[in-house]
Amino acid sequence: MRKLKVHLVEDDSTLRTVLARELGALGFEVVAFPTAEGVLDAVRASAPDALLIDLRLPGKSGLELLRELLAQDPMTQVVMLTGHGAVPDAVESMRVGAHDFLTKPARLDVLEQVLRRAAEKRALALENRRLRRVIDGQGPTPELIGDSAPMHELRRVIERVA
């Protein structure tokens, strides 16, 4: 089973180190960033299964980064994390498109569950997009395998329908 890849954006170096270590121990592959700078390029180069982003970052805020990430790829799954659990911040994050909003200190089991759900949501969205492309004729269609009489009949039916 492949490790789920999480990009962590947290300006507090101690918390960033602890979260990266603990998430790594839970089986996540963690790439940590101290600021929003470089995150868009990293996501473009190798999209993570989910991102964990502090709401308040130096320079570009977590909310600004969230908007940019979703503009780049609407299937990006972002969990916002903040030490300032203000309801308006949570509402705005969810309105913009965050998968979830957690307050610090977040329990590790809750964080794990939320990140795994976010990754699963992304995987399902990507699979849905792939299948829609196949159905719409934009992607590869599976070859029919078999040389039996029923398979020959199936091919004839498909040719008539097409």
Instruction: Provide, rounded to the nearest whole percent, the portion of the chain with pLDDT above 70.
Output: 91
- By the 8 A CB rule, do 52 and 81 touch? yes
Q: Which domain holds residue 64?
A: 5-161
> What are the residues facing 35 on neighbouring strands?
none
pLDDT at 14: 95
pLDDT tens by residue, 119-162: 999 989 888 888 888 777 755 545 666 667 777 677 777 777 75
Alpha helices (H) in 12-162, listed in sequence order? 13-25, 39-45, 62-72, 87-96, 108-135, 149-161
Q: 62 pLDDT exceeds 70?
A: yes
Q: Is 50 exposed, middle or buried (0-12, 13-18, 19+ CB in 10 A)?
A: buried
Q: 109 pLDDT exceeds 80?
A: yes
> What is the domain-level CATH number for residue 127?
3.40.50.2300
DSSP summary character for residue 61: -
**Count of structural domains, the chain:** 1
**Which residue shows structure tokens 């101290």?**
34
Q: 90 pLDDT exceeds 90?
A: no
- For residues 54-65, average pLDDT: 91
- By the 8 A CB rule, do 129 and 74 touch? no
